[in-house]
Structure formats: structure tokens, C-alpha cells
Structure 1
Amino acid sequence: MMTDDGRAARRRARRAPDLRCRAGAPRPARGRAAGPAGSAFRTDDDGCFGVTVVRASGDTAVAAVHGEIDLRTADELRGRLTELHAAGHRNLVVDFAGVSFCDAAGLGALVAAHNRAAAAGGGVRLSRVRPAQRRLLNVTGLHRVFGLYDGVEDALAAAAAAAR
């Protein structure tokens, strides 16, 4: 488009949309809340993200993640997985059933957790990964790093077999 004097008209910059939780989950209260089996998880300011320890026994723990894993929440995920590893769980199963979005920062948090666990002879396995995240893992080649499983029980069986 041109102006009357022959110069190109500048387009009006579009304002980026407000970011909102894509999970559609009810927003829990801010701060700490009790999760299943009495474990605690922290929600971000939007209440869209959480990590809940579902099961922990021996050297294996299952962490259910819900919400969006992005630049704002990746450090929380990394921290929770690091806490589980520090508690002696070298095999981690991350249940992705509640994850609506995961970007490069989230992948970085998972790789950091995997590297820490692998150094101790364990690893990170992902269960119930949605097709969009599965494509991202395939494109980046990370499907070869993490075991991808259809269910939590499948991932636990693989972790037990690898521990033998």
C-alpha cells in the first residue's frame, strides 16, 4: 500500500494476544497445594502448571505434569525432577498426559534431568505423550534419548528391566 506522496505506508503493528493457559483446567489457588498422596506441587502465577509426584519407591519415581511447559515453567520442572533425583530416584517416569504444550525450554529441562539421571545409571522415560509433543521429540531426535511409552506402567516396566 502506498501513501499519497509515493512512500510505502507502514503497517500498524499488531498487538500480541494475551497468553492464557491452553489447558482449560480450573485454576488452583496460588502457592503450594496438596497433590495426590500428600505430595506438594507449585503452580505458576496463572495456575496452569504443576508437577505432582504420583508414585515413588526405590530408585524410581513417577511425576505427573500438567499445563504448559515453556520458558516460564521449565525451571520449575527442572527443579522438581532434580529434587526427585536428589532424593535417590535415578529412574524418572514423567507422565505427559496433562501437558498441553512443550517448547524448547521444556525440552531443555527434560534433557538436563535425563543427563543427571543417566550419570547415575538411570534415565528419564516419558509416558502418554500427546501427538504434537511426540512429533517435536521426533523432529529433534530426542525420541532416541527418552523412552516414549503409551502408559505409565509400560514405562515403569522398562525402568525395572533396565535396572537389572
Structure 2
Amino acid sequence: MTDEFRPSRRTAGRRVPEVRCRTAAPPGAAAPAGPAVASGIRAIGEPEAGLDVATARVSGDTAVVVVNGEIDLRTADILRARLVELHAAGPRRLVADFTAVPFCDAAGLGALVAAHNQIAATGGEIVLAGVRPAQLRLLRITGLQRLFAVHADVPGALTALDSPTASG
């Protein structure tokens, strides 16, 4: 009897790629209304694209940008484009508040680097605030903590950005 269960246990221990389904509609068809959303295909209150990047406030040449949602292959380009767009609108420095980012993968890190490269080319800067421990670990492993100043929270980031200006 135990031999019957061994293959099942081995299969149960294997890691299977996670598949996320946004809608049950076939390609090209309209997404179902109401019940599909309420049934858990898309979390209630989740931004349509899965990521929201919005300016919270602008003070002088610094803008605080709140990032809300998961940053992955599906949403990384939204992050990059929005950061570059916000910088082009005027603020030289962007403080990206990651407090509401539960997950950021390699695609998200790549989007941050791409945004940094575009923004730095025109004299701008991206500073990260509220980065979760797991994401901070990824920044350290990849060496990106040398590219981005990382602060515990937005007030700390703003204070650090203001201190060199006040002294010089």
C-alpha cells in the first residue's frame, strides 16, 4: 500500500510553475463582467494592469511616486515607462515608494535599471523607499543597492535628498 503513495508524494513535492489567469475569455473576446472578477480571477481593488504608479506629491525638483502592486514580467514595462514619463514632466529626482509592492522579480529589477539609465542620462535620479526585506535582499545580491539609494521610508529618503542641498 505504501508503494501506491510514493509517486504521489514525489509529485506533490515538485515545484510547478505558477500560472495566473486574468480572464476566462478566449483571445480577442470581451472579458466577462462582474461574476468573473468576483470569483477570484482578479482581486477586487487590484488595478486593471496589476500595477499602479502615481505621483503622490512634488516638492521642488523631487517627486514622490507611489508604486502599488506586483512588479513582474507582465507589469515591468509599465513601471519603467511611468517613471521615465514622470521624470520627463519635470522633477529631476524621483522617490519611488515601494511600501505597497508585495513582489518584484528580475523583470522588475530590469525595469528599474532601464528607467535609471534613461533618467540618469538627463541628470535625474531614482531613490527607493519602503523596500521590503526580500526585495532588499535581491538588490544586495545583484549589487543594485550601489545604483539606487535605498531608504527605510519616504521621509528618510526626502531628508537624505535635502541634506546635501542644505550643506552645499
TM-score for both structures, normalised by structure 2: 0.70
Alignment check: 8 A CA contact 1:115 1:123 kept: no
**Cα 1:61/1:14, change in 2 over 3 Å:** closer
Q: Tell me the CA shift for residue 86 of structure 1.
A: 0.7
Correspondences of 1:30-45 after superposition (within 5 Å) = 43-44=48-49
Q: Give secondary structure in 2 for the equivalent of 1:78.
A: helix
Structure 1: gaps (5+ residues):
1-10, 31-42
Aligned with 1:88 (options 87, 90, 95): 90
Specify whether residues 125 and 15 from structure 1 end up closer, same or farther in structure 2 by C-alpha distance, changes over 3 A only. closer
Query: Secondary structure in 2 aligned to 1:101?
Result: coil
Alpha-carbon deviation of 1:19?
Answer: 2.0
Residue 71 (structure 1) aligns with: 73
Aligned counterpart in structure 1 of residue 153 of structure 2, from 151, 154, 160: 151
- Residues in 2 aligned to 1:145 and 1:162: alpha-carbon distance in whole angstroms: 18
Partner residue of 1:99? 101
Q: Is the 8 A contact 1:96 1:129 kept in 2?
A: yes
Preserved contact between residue 126 and residue 149 of structure 1 (Cα < 8 Å): yes
Maintained 8 Å contact 2:116/2:126 = yes
Higher strand content, 1 or 2: 1
Task: Give yes or no for the alignment of 1:27 onto 2:72.
Answer: no
For the residues of structure 2 that align with 1:135 and 1:17, how far apart are their CA atoms?
Answer: 22
State whether residues 51 and 64 of structure 1, in contact with CA within 8 Å, keep that contact through their aligned partners in structure 2: yes
Q: 1:16 to 1:88 in 2, by over 3 A?
A: same
CA displacement 1:12-45 (0-9 Å, x = unmatched): x997443279xx96334x6xxxxxxxxxxxx31x
The question of whether the paired residues in 2 share the 8 Å contact of 1:74 and 1:106 is answered with yes
Q: Which deviates more from structure 2 when the two are superposed, residues 126-135 or residues 53-62?
A: 53-62
**TM-score, with length taken from structure 1:** 0.72
Report how many residues are paired.
135
| Equivalent residue letter for 1:117 | I
Aligned partner letter, 2:77? D
Q: Do 2:72 and 2:108's aligned partners in 1 also have CA atoms closer than 8 Å?
A: yes
Task: Supply the AA of the counterpart residue of 2:19.
Answer: D
**Counterparts of 1:25 and 1:147, CA distance in 2:** 32
Q: Which amino acid aligns with 1:128?
A: G
Structure 1 runs, 4 residues or longer, greater than 6 Å off: none
- RMSD after superposition: 2.6
Higher helix share: 2
What's 1:122 paired with?
A: 124
Q: In the alignment, residue 19 of structure 1 is paired with which amino acid?
A: R
Distance of 1:154 and 1:14 partners within structure 2: 39
Pick aligned residue for 2:56 from 45, 54, 57: 54
SS at match of 1:71: coil
CA deviation profile, 1:88-131 (whole Å, cap 9, x unmatched): 11201000111111111111111122222322333111001000
